[in-house]
Amino acid sequence: MATDRTSIHGQWSSRWIFILAATGSAVGLGNIWRFPYITAEHGGGAFVLIYLVCIVLVGLPIMMSEIMLGRRGRRSPIHTMEVLAEEEGRNRHWRLVGVMGVFAGFFILTFYSVVAGWTLAYIVRAVSGMFTQAGAQQTQDIFAALVSDPERLLAWHTLFMIMTVFVISRGVKKGLEQAVRYLMPALFLLLLFLVAYSMTTAGFSQAVAYLFKPDFSQVGPSTILVALGQAFFSLSLGMGAIMTYGSYLSGRASIPGTSVSIVVMDTGVALLAGLAIFPIMFTFGLQPEEGGPGLIFKILPIAFGQMAYGRVLAVIFFTLLMFAAWTSALSILEPITAWLVEKTGFTRLKAAIWSGTFAWILGLGSLLSLNLWSGVKLFGMTFFSLMEYLSVNIMLPVGGLFISLFAAWFMARSSSFAELGLSRRAYLAWKVGAMFIAPAGVILILLQEFFGFLG
Ligand code: PHE
């Protein structure tokens, strides 16, 4: 039986709005900033293939599980896990899945807000026409000047965090629903346009081969873990963001169809970003692996600088990217804020300010690790890369693992069946995915990372 619980935080006006909001959460810096540079660091096609396998076999069943749990619990992740565990007669400690999600959210925000700050900075640079006729050297200098200046980074990081807290404090429904409706399709169109431009460049076929012809000699021991982490990160899974959005979803909407739409759109945007960026890189004789986290910020301006109306297009592109980052950041802060409201009775405003301030302070670590603290290493990583590694590669997969284990092994069949609303066959497919394939995938990949038995 579906339950008649409702969320105290409100409900999406329709299933379609939920899809847009969840897509807004999924499509972000992960697709356009992170996917291309991670792909480049891991040798291209083989990485892309492993990533796609992770999306389908691990991401999709967990996406369905997360939405299902959220909609059934109708509270922020910690409380949802608590309520459901109790209802199913399970241990209360399942709430720790939600607790880890809160930590993962803070860790992600530390670097997310800093990189989102770069997009804000680049809107200004695009408006001022800095990229016109800029060559590879100049765009690299422009990027280096930005990240080596803590004061500038601080200003953008602060602005982005204020923007995020502002929307969250008003509740997701007001404003955000409207924004996502137009911005996501616009971003999609602009990416298509950039791909069309890239198709005219000399490097296009080389880029297609690079992205889609797997060369397994490039697969290193940690490639699979990185692909898995990227799948979780890009789909916003494993920390309760999608669970929280699911808790605002009407009881009638079909979870499987919804999940497939989100996954397809998210993956489409990542592949388009790759097809837009790599051709330009090859055309200008740049080596993908050299890009690092600054990749798109150094590469795309070269193309904008060359094309007709490039200045206008650059402004539009970085604005849309900023919006994509914004709608994702909202979904990272939302679970934490909703939890604070439920737990303490704070107003949304107060809860949003508290969680935003905490994330802002942690973000200073990431910000400074790009310049003043670049020599400070923990486990061989800067603060920025440590936060990224821990949250994306470890916490999200582990969170997702427990989410699927709970949904498939610890919930009564009658509960999950009622909530998912599937035909028997589709239910079976979900169950096999969430019970065996997704958990086994995550466990094997994590074991491989720590004990290295596969290679
Ligand atoms: N999916 C977002 C992106 O691709 C990032 C994100 C991760 C959002 C985890 C919410 C939760 O940019």
Range list of H helices, 60-199? 60-73, 77-87, 95-127, 136-147, 150-169, 176-199
Q: pLDDT at position 37, please?
A: 94
Query: Cα(166)–Cα(352) distance, rounded to whole angstroms?
Result: 8
Gap from CA of 138 to ligand 1 centroid (Å): 31
Closest C-alpha residue for ligand 1 atom 4: 30
Ligand 1 atom with the shortest distance to the CA of 28: 12
Q: Residue 1 pLDDT > 60, yes or no? A: no
Q: What is the pLDDT of the chain when averaged over all its residues? A: 92
Q: Residue 97 pLDDT > 70, yes or no? A: yes
Residue 356 token pair: 């935003």
pLDDT digits (tens, 9 = 90+) for 139-190: 999 999 999 999 999 999 999 999 999 999 987 677 667 777 788 888 888 8
The answer for residues whose C-beta is within 8 angstroms of residue 231's C-beta and 6 or more apart is 51, 54, 55, 58, 59, 237
Only one residue has tokens 């990081």, namely 157
Q: pLDDT at position 362, please?
A: 96
pLDDT digits (tens, 9 = 90+) for 387-409: 999 999 999 999 999 999 999 99
Q: Residue 87 pLDDT > 80, yes or no? A: yes
Neighbouring-strand partners of residue 163: none
| DSSP letter string, 194-257 | HHHHHHTSTTHHHHHHHHHS--GGG--TTHHHHHHHHHHHHTT-SSSHHHHHHTTS-TTS-HHH
Closest C-alpha residue for ligand 1 atom 8: 236
Closest C-alpha residue for ligand 1 atom 10: 236
- Residue 265 CA, chain-centre distance (Å), reads 13
Gap from CA of 449 to ligand 1 centroid (Å): 23
Q: pLDDT at position 153, please?
A: 98
Residue 277 token pair: 């960026």
Gap from CA of 55 to ligand 1 centroid (Å): 14
Gap from CA of 217 to ligand 1 centroid (Å): 30
pLDDT digits (tens, 9 = 90+) for 108-129: 999 999 999 999 999 999 999 9
pLDDT digits (tens, 9 = 90+) for 417-433: 989 988 889 899 999 99
Gap from CA of 140 to ligand 1 centroid (Å): 26
Helix (H, G, I), strand (E, B) or coil at 346: coil
Kindly report the number of other CB atoms within 10 A of residue 339's CB atom. 25
pLDDT digits (tens, 9 = 90+) for 225-250: 999 999 999 999 999 999 999 999 98
Q: pLDDT at position 285, please?
A: 85
**Residue 24 confidence class, pLDDT cut points 50, 70, 90:** very high
**Residue 289 confidence class, pLDDT cut points 50, 70, 90:** confident
pLDDT digits (tens, 9 = 90+) for 294-349: 999 999 999 899 888 889 989 989 998 998 999 999 999 999 999 999 999 999 99
**Residue 2 confidence class, pLDDT cut points 50, 70, 90:** low
**Residue 454 confidence class, pLDDT cut points 50, 70, 90:** low
Q: pLDDT at position 349, please?
A: 94
Percent of all residues in the chain with a pLDDT value above 90, rounded to a whole number = 77
Positive/negative CA dihedral, 208, 210, 214, 219: negative
Q: Residue 363 pLDDT > 90, yes or no? A: yes
Residue 393 token pair: 């590669």
Pocket lining for ligand 1, CB < 6 angstroms: 25-26, 28-31, 108, 233-234, 236, 239, 241, 328, 331-332
Closest C-alpha residue for ligand 1 atom 9: 236
Query: Cα(331)–Cα(241) distance, rounded to whole angstroms?
Result: 6
Gap from CA of 28 to ligand 1 centroid (Å): 6
Q: pLDDT at position 385, please?
A: 94
266, 29 Cβ separation under 8 angstroms? no
Give the gyration radius of the chain's Cα atoms: 21
Judged on CB neighbours under 10 Å (0-12, 13-18, 19+), 281 is buried
Residue 47 token pair: 């990485």
